[in-house]
Each structure stands twice: as structure tokens, then as C-alpha cells.
Structure 1
């Protein structure tokens, strides 16, 4: 299945990104630190949403309107008392078709799977709000992920198509990881 292959073939880029995010999470000591981290997510997720907008809609993902979007990150930043200005520069992968868009979306949708652990870490560190993004879909997170991976698994029927999805996902992970090389933006 594509969802299994994509996980295996993007493992290295995924681990690199995860390591950078976890280091940033462990360094959070204030709302300002947390807002700074969220700005990286907001900048990248907004850019990815713009890049996939032409290719992803309700005909591809029937519950698209109910999916988590970058505006949830903006809401969290504002709830913490900061604005969505002063964002880090981002480079998005090349998205020129639905398969590549689904590859990028794999990274975005997959980011919710660790959300409950992130919220728990943040709460242990004394933070009290700004959790809507990392809360994902709440108790429906598992079902939303299963729905997405079912769509993903049916989208690419040939090896060439699967490699196109995997390549876009790998590039999405890698490019997201690179923005964390930029110093604090708040």
C-alpha cells in the first residue's frame, strides 16, 4: 500500500524534521517561545495550502472542508498574544498535479498524529492555551487519518504514480525541516 511505502521511503526526512521540532518543543519556556514555533508551522502550512489549492478539493477529499487548515495555527498564535507577522521564509515542493499535492498533504495530515503528545509536553511546561492546531481532530483524529490514507492508497495505481506521491512527500518533509534552520522569528 502507498501509505506504507511512503512512510518507509520518507523515514529519513521525517526523522530529521521530527528531531528539529522536538528540540524546539523542549526549549519552549513561554508563550513567546511557543508562538515562535507556531510561526514556522503557520508559514509552511499556509504556503503548502496555497500550493495544493488547485489540486485538492472535495472531489479529491470529500471531507476537505472539515480538515485542519493553517488558520487554526493563526488562531493559536493570536490566542497566545502574538501576530502572524514576521514569518520565516519557506520553500515549498513543486506541486503540479493531484498526486504531488497528496504527497504534500500526507505530511500535513500526518503531523496531527503526534499532536496529543505535543499538547501534553506543552502543558507540562506550563502553557495553558494555543492548542487547537496540535489537538488535531480530537477524538476523531484516528478516523480522519484512516480516511485520508484510504484516499491516498487509491490515488496512485502505478509505480510511477506512487513514486510521484512519495517524492513530493519527501520534499515536503525536507523543505519543512530546512525552515527550522532560521533563528527565532517572534
Structure 2
């Protein structure tokens, strides 16, 4: 069985992961190259990146169609926690910039952006443990990285199950992949700006 055949028989979330792995891996390496756990100051720059990304996607959490398709979508947003973490770290809120996501974004692209956000939530549990070395945690400075009370893995599985169940054409799935890649590239841009 070829890789193409394997992917064709896989779940949408698995295909999204495979199709965005290069962009995602590149971003992860770029972030970790900045030694974000060497000091609270370095970590704060990372939290500023997080804030800028989550501010971009904030409107998606209020979209009726997305809320109907994805379980507990409203409870999944983390912007307020990130803002609180910035305050704990003595950081101001990053200045407003032009909206990255258009108001009329189509469903597949929106799903791609949310896939990236939920994936970062899952990956955040590893970063949460590393942040503890800086004296940060759920009560101070790293609340947005803390695992969901039900467990990060379960929370992720619930999201991907809903994502996998949405009926999509091939073209729509390609658009979701592009949305996710654009989201990863957007975060990469914020990393370059914050760590310049």
C-alpha cells in the first residue's frame, strides 16, 4: 500500500497533520531555537506570539456554524488566559494590527485555523512542564498552556472526532489544509517579529 493510498483511507485530521507537517515542524524548530525557557523575558516573547495568533482567531469562536459543528467551541478559546499570563509576566498587550482572517472566511479555511489552535493546545502541555522551571504554572504566567481538566488528549480527540465528521468535498479539504498552513506561517511571522 502506498503512502497516498494510506492517506486516502485515513481520517481528515490525520490527512491535515500529514499535509501540514513540514510547515508545523519548521515552526516548532524556529520557536525552540529562541530558547524560550532560558528566562521569563524570553518566554514572554513567546506568549506575545500566542496572544497575536489567538487574537486573530477570536472571531471564529463566535461563528454560529462553527459552534454548531465543533463541541464546546466557545470554551476552547484561550485569549483571556493568554492576556492574564502577559500581565503576570509584566507585559502589555501587543498593539492591534490589521485583521489577518477576513470576516467572510469560508468554513474550510476556518477549520484549518482552528485545527492549528487546538493542536497548539495539545502541544502546550509539554511547554507547560518546561515553564515550571521558570516558576510559572496554571496560577501564574502559563495558565494558557495548562491541560484541560478532562485531559489534553481527550480534549483533542473530541475536537478531531468532530472535525473528521464534517462532510467536505476534496476541494474543501484542500482549502482546510491551506488554512492550516497559512495559520502556521502567520505564527512564524509573529515569531520573527517578536524575537527580532
TM-score normalised over the length of structure 2: 0.81
Partner SS, residue 151 of structure 2: helix
Residue equivalent to 1:121? 130
> 1:96-175 to 2 correspondence within 5 Å?
96-127=105-136, 129-175=140-186
Shift of 1:158: 2.1
Gapped regions of structure 1 (runs ≥ 5): none
Q: Does 1:22 align with 2:32?
A: yes
* Count of aligned pairs: 183
Residue equivalent to 1:178? 189
Counterparts of 1:79 and 1:48 in 2: how far apart (Å)? 23
Shift of 1:139: 4.3
Larger Rg: 2
Contact 2:45 2:194 in 1 (8 A): no
TM-score normalised over the length of structure 1: 0.84
Partner SS, residue 103 of structure 1: helix
Gapped regions of structure 2 (runs ≥ 5): 1-10
* TM-aligned CA distance change 1:5 to 1:136, over 3 Å: same
Counterparts of 2:162 and 2:150 in 1: how far apart (Å)? 20
Counterparts of 2:176 and 2:194 in 1: how far apart (Å)? 31
Counterparts of 1:172 and 1:151 in 2: how far apart (Å)? 20
Q: Greater share of helix residues, 1 or 2? A: 2
Counterparts of 1:92 and 1:173 in 2: how far apart (Å)? 12
**What value does the CA root-mean-square deviation take over the aligned residues?**
2.5
Task: Tell me: higher relative CO, structure 1 or 2? Use CA pairs within 8 A at least 6 residues apart.
Answer: 1
Counterparts of 1:125 and 1:82 in 2: how far apart (Å)? 16
Shift of 1:60: 2.2
